[in-house]
Structure 1
Amino acid sequence: MTMTPVKTPPGPKPLLEGTPAAHLAVRLFVLIPPTLAFLVAAPLAWGWGLGWVDVALFVLFWVVAGLGITIGYHRHFTHGSFKAKRGLKIALALCGHLAVQGEVTAWVADHRRHHAFSDKEGDPHSPWAYGTTPAALAKGFWHAHMGWMFNNEVTNAERFAPDLLADKDIQRIDKLLPYLTAASFLLPALLGGLLTWSWWGALTAFFWAGLVRIAFLHHVTWSVNSICHLIGERPFKSKDKAANVWPLAIFSFGESWHNLHHSDPTCARHGVLRGQIDISARTIWLFEKLGWVWDVRWPTERRLARLRG
């Protein structure tokens, strides 16, 4: 299967809209520093430049930002898997921004377009975009993993995320993108410096809990776009090639149980079979017990039976 470049469909609300210069700048800022951090991470890890404070801060910010993406950006804002109190909604949006994956509105618009055209023409990041030969799949993998962000495309939020454009809380938070991005790098450094009472502790925390943590979380997120649409098990029926890739389950907080998600996108739990750990779903369950969320769309045995392939 070969996909041609995205064409603007007829109607008042096209798939794509003009690309501001800031869009490219954000994408480059997202990609370059974390990638460079990975290239020098290995030599720094051997015997110096890494301590328990760095590890603890890495895990803390990885969990907070990661759940901000999986529970906030994805399951709540994109798919409406549950309703949340205003305070939690705002907290999820702020935490998601710490992952440095862009504004809530833009992220949601991209992901809704992905579901609308999954693995077909119009999907912003399908690994099947160039065909099924080994060379085409290699090119498609790069495109799905991170290459798609270099395209001069901006998904039309008016078409795909009008609810978020109308949400004053989200629009205020999205305008804070530069400051929240800076905070994602500087907060670990500040905490590292205070906990070790040293500039060296601030520097190593900035590196490990800032740069490396963001790069790690990016590649986990991108792997759901790429790997989980190429290989894995597909126990449930879906209109695309979304599959389950179990080695990513812990790192992605349950997002890599991708087959059920594409079979039933609004379901709050993605890992529905025995042994499928879904940390995001368990956190949503906890929020429900605390009374912070309601109308959670949990799976039912009857619905799962209908979805089985």
Structure 2
Amino acid sequence: MTADESPRRKVMSSPYLHRLQRRHFLLFDVLPIVGTVVAFAFLAVHPFGLTELVLLVAMWLLTGLGVTVGYHRLFTHRTFNAGPTVTTALAILGSMAGQGGVVSWVALHRRHHECSDREGDPHSPNLDGDGFVGRIRGLAHSHFLWMRRHDYPNIVHYAPDLLRNRAVVRVARRYDTWVVVGLLVPAVIGGLVSLSWTGAVSGLLWGGLVRMFVLEHIVWAINSFLHMFGTRPYESRENSRNGGVFALISLGESWHNNHHAFPDSPSFGLDWYRLDPGFWLIRGLAACGLAWDLKVPTPERIAARRRTPAPV
């Protein structure tokens, strides 16, 4: 085999990449924790009111849908199709969440599905040994610590489709800008509503940093706790679990075993009575002609993978 015919590397590792990972970890993973502590301390200066509540919930919902509907269901798994306007909007909203640029996020998640709970999975909680200590070490790694330093999936291998999408690449190149926009928007709104600098700071804290903190830990809990605890109604080769009690706050992501059993499905709940706000948005877009080719599995296909008579 010649050099030109050698297999493409699936992951890369270098001091430069690890420096970028540490910087991202500090700015977008650790800083929201600090910001949340500051937000509670700032209550002595500016009380938490209706404006802060609306900013927190609205920004959490918008950026959360950007992650679950855009980053996850559209860009990673291609569970439906959408036009350039919807595609760009979802990519921007997902970027504002501060969980990584869209192309990198997709490459990491496709790598996770390829190696889920096996060697090569960037954030499995089940590879750090047995027993109580092994479980705690695995949960800490999969929930938070893996982001400090990890092998970087080769985006040419894992996300060539996105690299061919100019609109998505343009959004990805301005990832840091969109994160800043996601912090400035609630700050400006908070300042305008209260006509004070304290209102602007409060908006930045609650609609920006606290919102990032809440959304991040919800998403990370899917990687960690729902690969160790929960129900497994469907056959899947890894240890994915459902946590239906968290369906609303996770915007449907907590139907995690369902998702791993049917990764090409835009519906994670699979049944109408399982709350899945992400799929509600996709259905709404489809009703308006803005989304199409929803690849929902047939009842027969679902039944064929069922492990128990009645999934919980």
TM-score (norm 2): 0.92
1:90 aligned partner, one-letter code: T
Mean Cα deviation higher: 31-40 or 107-116: 31-40
Question: Shift in Å at residue 14 of structure 1?
Answer: 2.6
Q: Equivalent residues in 2 for 1:185-204 (5 A)?
A: 185-204=183-202
Question: Cα–Cα, structure 1 residues 160 and 185, in superposed 2: closer, same or farther, change >3 Å?
Answer: same
2:90 aligned partner, one-letter code: L
1:117 maps to what in 2? 115
2:7 maps to what in 1? 11
Is contact 1:248–1:256 with CA below 8 Å preserved after alignment? yes
Q: Which runs of 5+ in 1 are unaligned?
A: 1-9
2:205 maps to what in 1? 207
Q: Which runs of 5+ in 2 are unaligned?
A: 1-5, 308-312
Mean Cα deviation higher: 191-200 or 231-240: 191-200
Asked if 1:138 is matched to 2:143, the reply is no
Is contact 1:189–1:203 with CA below 8 Å preserved after alignment? yes
Asked if 1:268 is matched to 2:271, the reply is no
CA RMSD between the two structures: 1.6
1:6 maps to what in 2? none
Question: Cα–Cα, structure 1 residues 274 and 131, in superposed 2: closer, same or farther, change >3 Å?
Answer: farther
Task: Give 2:236's match in structure 1, choosing from 238, 250, 272.
Answer: 238
Q: SS of 2:52's equivalent?
A: helix
Is contact 1:44–1:50 with CA below 8 Å preserved after alignment? no
1:164 maps to what in 2? 162
Question: Shift in Å at residue 47 of structure 1?
Answer: 9.8
Task: Give 1:92's match in structure 2, choosing from 86, 90, 109.
Answer: 90
Is contact 1:141–1:226 with CA below 8 Å preserved after alignment? yes
Distance 2:173 2:207 in 1: 24
1:71 maps to what in 2? 69
Map Cα deviations across residues 237-273 of structure 1 (whole Å, 9 max, x no partner).
1001100112321111000000110001010101124
2:80 maps to what in 1? 82
Is contact 2:117–2:239 with CA below 8 Å preserved after alignment? yes
2:28 aligned partner, one-letter code: V
Question: Shift in Å at residue 125 of structure 1?
Answer: 0.3
1:101 maps to what in 2? 99
Task: Give 1:180's match in structure 2, choosing from 175, 178, 181.
Answer: 178
Question: Shift in Å at residue 177 of structure 1?
Answer: 1.2
1:287 aligned partner, one-letter code: L
Distance 1:297 1:53 in 2: 39
Is contact 1:267–1:299 with CA below 8 Å preserved after alignment? yes
Is contact 1:164–1:171 with CA below 8 Å preserved after alignment? yes
Distance 2:247 2:45 in 1: 30
Aligned-residue identity in percent: 36
Q: Equivalent residues in 2 for 1:7-46 (5 A)?
A: 11-18=7-14, 19-20=16-17, 21-44=19-42
Map Cα deviations across residues 83-102 of structure 1 (whole Å, 9 max, x no partner).
10111001100110110111
Distance 1:240 1:136 in 2: 18
Q: SS of 2:296's equivalent?
A: coil
Distance 2:119 2:7 in 1: 17
1:61 maps to what in 2? 59
Distance 1:23 1:148 in 2: 10
Mean Cα deviation higher: 26-35 or 112-121: 26-35
1:102 aligned partner, one-letter code: G
Question: Shift in Å at residue 106 of structure 1?
Answer: 0.3
Instruction: Work out the number of aligned pairs and report it.
Output: 300
Question: Cα–Cα, structure 1 residues 273 and 132, in superposed 2: closer, same or farther, change >3 Å?
Answer: farther
Distance 1:259 1:14 in 2: 26
Distance 2:74 2:145 in 1: 26
2:94 aligned partner, one-letter code: G
Question: Shift in Å at residue 153 of structure 1?
Answer: 2.4
